[in-house]
Structure 1
Amino acid sequence: MAETKRIIISLPNSLLEEVDGIVSIEKKNRSEFIREAMKLYLRERKKIQIKERMKSGYREMSQINMALAELGLAEDIRELGIYEATLTGCEKL
């Protein structure tokens, strides 16, 4: 196991009683419970950060996709004008 360090924390009595109830049911000690709770918190926090970065990336990509779609539409309209001019025999660009 990695090097461990002893810390002191303060908890409200109600929270400690709840923790002690879970600890006795799961046959663990407080240290194990606190370690697992901290690991779970850190994992969930990382998930939230990743989701936020993904949301930001999707927003950025949507702006890029919109710009590309508008560019493509403008090109399609230009090419349609050329095609119609060719069909009617007009010199339109």
Structure 2
Amino acid sequence: MYVGGVFVSDNTKRITVSLPQHLLNEVDGLIKRENVNRSEFIHQATKAYLREKKKRQIRETMQQGYMEMAKINLNIASEAFLAEEEAEHTLDRLVSGV
């Protein structure tokens, strides 16, 4: 159904949003350039904001995981280095007969 020239589905809820005048002026300027109404603009802006927020959260989670794995990998590398040193020392002893 159309309400005020805007298509509204059964899933759509009408809300009221308060914005400072300067922000509303900026929104209205974009609306004119993009040839959409306020509802569609707010819909698109909200979807874009949520999408970016999810991406940021995923990046932060991955960064935290990489930092945790870096510590683990450093420990593994240190252990491997010590094992290689020990193996090399053992090989030197076996070859030299000492």
> TM over 0.5: same fold?
yes
CA distance in 1, matches of 2:70, 2:10: 45
Q: Are residue 21 (structure 1) and residue 29 (structure 2) matched?
A: yes
Counterpart of 2:40? 32
* Superposition misfits of 4+ residues, deviation over 2 angstroms: none
RMSD: 1.2
Unaligned runs of 5+ in 1: none
Q: Percent identity between the aligned chains?
A: 44
What is the CA distance between 1:2 and its match in structure 2? 5.8
Q: Are residue 41 (structure 1) and residue 49 (structure 2) matched?
A: yes
**Structure with larger RCO (C-alpha < 8 A, sep 6+):** 2
Counterpart of 2:66? 58
1:6-65 Cα offsets, whole Å, 9 max, x none, are 111111111111111111121110000001000010000001001001101111111111
Distance 1:46 1:81, change over 3 A: same
- With structure 2 as the length reference, what TM-score do the two structures score? 0.85
Q: Number of residues paired by the alignment?
A: 90
More strand by share: 2
